[in-house]
């Protein structure tokens, strides 16, 4: 069990669907991250939120839209995805921008039909 909770664990959607991924942590962490991981590859950073403000967008296509409603919650809104977007999406959090490691959730495995 991880202290970063992601839902759903699995998601299958069509290219015209709209869905959202959710990430929650109650450790008081103020930095939160979205990563995309393809099979047998390292995680690729997508977005960084620091104190609920978007700090980094790694040139992610606009069909991915992040949202941080409060310090415990991070969403990733999905719209008009492509088959190549199928991957494991990992959320992570960190106490603050500093020396502590990032804590990862179990991920959402996304399949685009």
Partner 1 sequence: ELKVEQNPLFLSMQEGKNYTIYCNYSTTSDRLYWYRQDPGKSLESLFVLLSNGAVKQEGRLMASLDTKARLSTLHITAAVHDLSATYFCAVDVHQGAQKLVFGQGTRLTINP
Q: Which residues bind partner 1 (CB under 8 A)?
A: 2, 31, 33, 40-43, 45, 48, 50, 55-56, 90, 92, 97-107
* Nearer of residues 4 and 112 to partner 1, judged by Cβ: 4
**Separation CA 98–CA 106 (nearest Å):** 23
To partner 1, the closest distance from the beta carbon of 94 in angstroms equals 8
To partner 1, the closest distance from the beta carbon of 100 in angstroms equals 7
**For 1-113, where are the E strands, in sequence order?**
4-7, 10-13, 18-25, 31-37, 44-50, 53-57, 64-70, 73-79, 87-94, 103-104, 108-112
To partner 1, the closest distance from the beta carbon of 18 in angstroms equals 26
């Amino acid at each position: 069990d991880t202290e970063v909770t992601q839902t759903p664990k699995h998601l299958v959607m069509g290219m015209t669907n709209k869905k959202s991924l959710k990430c929650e942590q109650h450790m008081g962490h103020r930095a939160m991250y979205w990563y995309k991981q393809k099979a047998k590859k390292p995680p690729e950073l997508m977005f960084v939120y620091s104190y609920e403000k978007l700090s980094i967008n790694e040139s992610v296509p606009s069909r991915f839209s992040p949202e941080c409603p409060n310090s415990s919650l991070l969403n990733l809104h999905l719209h008009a995805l492509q088959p190549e977007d199928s991957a494991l999406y990992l959320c992570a959090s960190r106490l603050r921008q500093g020396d502590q490691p990032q804590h990862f959730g179990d991920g959402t495995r996304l399949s685009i039909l």
